[in-house]
Amino acid sequence: MKLKLLALILLFLWSCSSKNQADLLVINAKVYTVDHDFQMAEAFAIKDGKFIKVGTTKDILAAFEAKEIIDAEGNAVFPGFYDAHAHFPSLAEFLGQADLNGSKSFEEVIERLKAYEQKYPEKTWIIGGGWDQNLWPDKKFPTKDLLDKAFPDKAVFLSRVDYHAAVVNSKTLALNNILEVKPVLGGIIGGEGKVPNGLLIDNAVDLIQLPPLSDEQYVKQLQAAQDSLFAVGLTSIVDAGLPIYSIDQLQKIYEKGQLKIRNYAMVAANDSSVKTFIERGFYESDRLEVKSFKIMGDGALGSRGACLLAHYHDAPTKGFLLSSPEQLDHMIEQIANSPFQANAHAIGDSANRILLDIYGKHLTNNANRRWRIEHAQIVAPEDFHKFEKYHILPSIQPTHATSDMYWAKDRLGEKRLKGAYAYKQLLESYGKVAIGSDFPVEHYNPMYGFHAAVARVDAKGFPKGGFQMENSLSREEALKGMTIWAAYSCFQEYKRGSIEKGKDADFIIMEEDIMTAPFEKLRRIRPVRTVVAGETVYRKGNQKI
């Protein structure tokens, strides 16, 4: 008996020692690998922040032992979601501001601001965002009049939902020496005659200098925003356009290990920043990369700043570019002669045409440059083929379609609306789309974008049957757009975006399978666990890990 017991112990020790050591095993899962063949798996092993094997539960348990084993209990597992167009510092700032999203009138805005002031009486500025005049009965832009009555002694700054317009009170105008209406290239100071009315559109918004946060406050707000992103399954983001000082701040914060979310940060392009970063070259670390520029083409459709080929259907204006075609051409030529990627914001059909043509003019051997058009929101029928011709990747935000659909026809008319939010057509033109949210313009939850992409309805299920369903995406296409294609759009498909051996171990376990759940449930499905580089950064019921 003693010999038999010894033999069993030796056999057990031998079997253990014959196994490879891993840091984490995930077993009994329904794994959507999102690899080239869109294969399914049951389990995987992780070591040093990388996937080291993907396969069946039986094979993984036979080959590895680990400090931690997660039994997924049959739940669906996906690569970490990747938001391909976002504004991380803006979200961080917004979380500390007055939330005006969904306000049904400017009077409601005032009431929300009064409640905010009571909550934070020590603040000398009242800063908020999210108002949208398209939701109000008269659909008229707000002015400073009601703000002056309610807040005569405090500076007020309120961003429109798209961040392409703002309304301020007289105190804010005075503090920033905006005492009369004057021309602004790529923007508008609203007013009657020479008297400003408090409305600022596009580049005019930049005339306002807001009070800065301390370094400590800024880091805390970024970490709070990061926690919110992890809680909805985001592990990677694209920061779509940051000034030089913000890039430098982020670099220091990441180097101190104060942020964990992966960030592909675009430099906001102007003559100075393009010259500076081309001279600096790429910056690349495990969590932060800087190797591209964000070019602003035009404004937004909701504030009639999008640059159109013909007049707006509801106003005698065509919108405008934020820089002249000559300035755009000059910047793009410099970027084309560098290794940097270009990403251009283009909403209107005129802006899309101008930027596609300038791209085509300066790009050579561009199949691997992966230059992007951000939004590609309204494209003339004769211009869709240019995405294929010039190898330009469309970067889209599906929730824009379901947010704008209530009034987009008013702006564009029936005919032009057919070329708007045309995500399937853009996919067919290039072969891939990168999907993002544009948060905090839209909500950061990637399930809202997934739902909008596949069902083309809003949170209330409107409209019945979906908005322009011919441009909906399949679930597989939408999932790829927010994982592997998003990674591809940032030259990262070799290291993230799918669950494959050798790639970053970023994944999420969902409470239900988004690939099979009914449309009406998609927006409510949440992660039970979010993991970055093998580290659990969010667990349902315990956000602070």
Q: What is the pLDDT of residue 263?
A: 98
Closest CA to 268 of 210, 349, 203, 177: 203
Mean pLDDT, to the nearest integer, of 349-373? Answer: 95
Closest CA to 213 of 303, 330, 96: 96
Give the pLDDT confidence of 461-484 residue by residue, as tens digits. Answer: 999 999 999 999 999 999 999 999
Is the model's pTM score more than 0.85?
yes
Q: Residue by residue, what is the 3-state secondary structure of 216-262?
A: HHHHHHHHHHHHHHHHCCEEEEEEEEECHHHHHHHHHHHHCCCCCCE
Distance CA 483, CA 485 (A): 6
Third-level CATH fold of 2-74: Urease, subunit C; domain 1 (2.30.40)
Mean pLDDT, to the nearest integer, of 501-524? Answer: 98
Please check the confidence at residue 389 and state whether its pLDDT lies above 60. yes
Mean pLDDT, to the nearest integer, of 248-268? Answer: 98
Give the pLDDT confidence of 124-136 residue by residue, as tens digits. Answer: 999 999 999 999 9
Measured in Å, how far apart are the chain's first and last C-alpha atoms?
A: 48
Which are the contacts of 502, defined by CB distance < 8 A and separation ≥ 6? 50, 51, 52, 495
User: Taking the domain 89-207, which CATH number applies?
Assistant: 3.10.310.70
CATH 1.10.3720.10 describes domain 82-86+214-500: no
Lowest mean pLDDT among 2-11, 479-488, 507-516: 2-11
Q: What is the pLDDT of residue 178?
A: 96
Answer yes or no: same fold for 82-86+214-500 and 89-207. no
The structural domains of the chain, with segments of one domain joined by +, span: 2-74, 82-86+214-500, 89-207
Give the pLDDT confidence of 7-54 residue by residue, as tens digits. Answer: 544 444 455 557 999 999 999 999 999 999 999 999 999 999 999 999
Q: What mean pLDDT, rounded, does the chain reach?
A: 95
